[in-house]
Structures are given as C-alpha cells and as structure tokens.
Amino acid sequence: MAIKVFAPAKINLTLHVTGQRADGYHLLDSLVVFADFGDRLKLEPGPEMRIDLSGPFAAGVPQDERNLIWKAAEGAGWSGAIHLNKQLPHGAGIGGGSSDAAALLTALAAQGIEIPADLPLSLGADLPVCMAASAARMQGIGEQITPVDLPALPALLVNPGCHVPTGAVFSGLRSRNNAPMSVEIPRFNSASDCASWLVGQRNDLEAPARVAAPEIDQVLGDLTASRGNLLSRMSGSGATCFALYPTTKAAHMAAYEIGAEHPDWWIQAVTLR
C-alpha cells in the first residue's frame, strides 16, 4: 500500500553558533519550529528505487542517489517509488531536503522498519530535529533535541529566489564561539510574548548571508515594515526570512501586500508550531 507523508518547512527562530569541533563540525544552539506548509511524499514499496517529481520547485531536484530521500531510504533498507511533490524552494534555509528525508524515515519507522540509530545524523544536522517535527531546541551538532512548549505562531515566509551557498555563509562568520541561548526557554502566553523574547536572540548566520546575498536586506526590510510585524529574521543559512505576527489575519495581509509588490518572490503565510 502507498504511504502518504507530509514534510513541513523547518524554521530556525534562533541559530547561535557556539563553537567548532576539531573535525570541522559547528556547534549550534537553535530554537526550531515547523510550518503547516511543506512538501508531500507518496511511498510505494517495490523492487527498484525511483524518485518521481512534481510541484513548483521540482526543477533541479536530483532523482538519484544524490538526493537525501534516496540515501535515507537506502540506509533504512527500503526500496520503491517515491513521489515527491516539491512545494518548498530548495537550498533556502528551511530544511526542504532534510525534512523530506526525515519524513520518509518517520513513515518507515511507523511501518515497523527499524531505522539505524546513527542514520539520521549521518545525513545532516537537521535530520534529527526534522524527525521530531515539532518545536524543539537543537544543540551540539544537531544530535541534542529537547522538546519546547510554544504557542502557535502566525508567520510569513519569504524567499527572494536567490541561492545562498552554505559554505560561503559559514566561511563569512566573524566568530564561531558565540554565546548560546539562555539555559531555560521561558513559557510564553502568546506570539507577542514569544517574539519579545526572540528579539534578544540571534541568527549568527544572518550577517554573512546578507553579504553573500544582498537581496536578503530587502526581504527583511519589507517584512519589518509590514503592518503588525513583531519580529523579522532569516531562517537557517538563508535566504528564506520569516516574520511573526499577532494574528493569522495580519500574516495573510502582509503576504498580500508584499506579494503585490514582489510577484516573483516565494511568499507563504503559515502557522509555526
């Protein structure tokens, strides 16, 4: 039987780079949430591996062993047809490929397939938190996942369509030994409370990403100027940026206004959890 799977967009509300190990891996402290919008997969077991693509961002997605989905399935000992409806822009700092692979592994585990314990992290730092697929604090090189209780966060996601090389962003970091988040993340009563606390946090990759892709400046400027905006920040290593709003209506209004001015940008109003 075919298995239908949802792979949500992953958003880094914070991303503190706190160190670098001798093997080159960066140490992170990040508050991660997931949107109610993302890619869709359908898995059909069979003797041969195959990836079929559809959706607005299908172009350029590998359909062979270069794809994280293929690697995840192969690592779990599963084969068959994978139908991927690509709704999320790739290379956009919102975990598209990682979320796809994590959703596949989660679905296979639910079918009773044993997933090797070291497989998710071996595929990327975002895989373990994407398998949790709910608000969490991600630390270390991505292996330390702590669930966090957050209110629903009305938000707007915007990507200007430029590619930001992750390597160039990390190379542009002025410091790799920055302060982590506070030991305890408070409990918030509303999106406004959460945004007020987030103002005092950071995405350490935002500054070098803005150098690599100046388009991010305009995105953040437009989000900050939108009505009802509580906070604007870049997610991950870019170029997708997000803004938080007090209500879903405010997020949709901002989507309409920014979309009218920039019809070539990818813009999506969502709820983050």
Per-residue pLDDT tens over the stretch 19-46:
999 999 999 999 999 999 999 999 999 9
pTM of the full predicted structure?
0.97
Per-residue pLDDT band at 91 (split at 50, 70, 90): confident
Q: Is the pLDDT of residue 260 over 90?
A: yes
Q: Which domains does the chain have, with CATH numbers?
A: 3-147 (3.30.230.10), 153-272 (3.30.70.890)
Query: In the chain, what is the greatest distance between 2 CA atoms, to the nearest angstrom?
Result: 53
Annotated catalytic residues are 10, 126
Compute CA distances 147 → 117, 133, 216, whole Å.
Answer: 19, 10, 30
Q: Is the pLDDT of residue 257 over 90?
A: yes
Q: Percent of the chain having pLDDT more than 70? A: 100
Across the chain, what does the average pLDDT equal?
97
Rounded Cα gap, residues 166 and 91, in angstroms: 8
Question: Taking phi first (over 0 means left), then psi (-120 to 50 degrees means alpha), and beta for anything else, what does residue 76 get?
Answer: alpha
